[in-house]
Amino acid sequence: MKEATGELNMTLVTVVAVAAILIFVTAFVPDILDNITNRWSNAEDNAEIDDAAGGAGHNAGH
């Protein structure tokens, strides 16, 4: 009976850990993805500006 109780406890710990990971993912991943998307768009916009300015880039004169 002690072995069965130990397995039940381990199963419960696993379920709680999976639930915690899912809560974390659900809470934070959308914001992280939005942040990445915004940074990507800003980088593309800056590249277009650099191209329009003759492709000098941010390292001009260095």
Report residue 19 as tokens: 């639930």
What pLDDT digit, counting tens, does each position of 9-26 carry?
Answer: 999 999 999 999 999 999
Tell me the residue length of the chain: 62
Confidence of residue 39 (pLDDT cuts 50, 70, 90): very high
Confidence of residue 60 (pLDDT cuts 50, 70, 90): low
Burial 28-43 (b: 16+ CB within 10 A, else e): eeeeeeeeeeeeeeee
Given a cut of 60, whether residue 58 has pLDDT beyond it is no
What residues does each domain of the chain span?
A: 21-51
Given a cut of 90, whether residue 1 has pLDDT beyond it is no
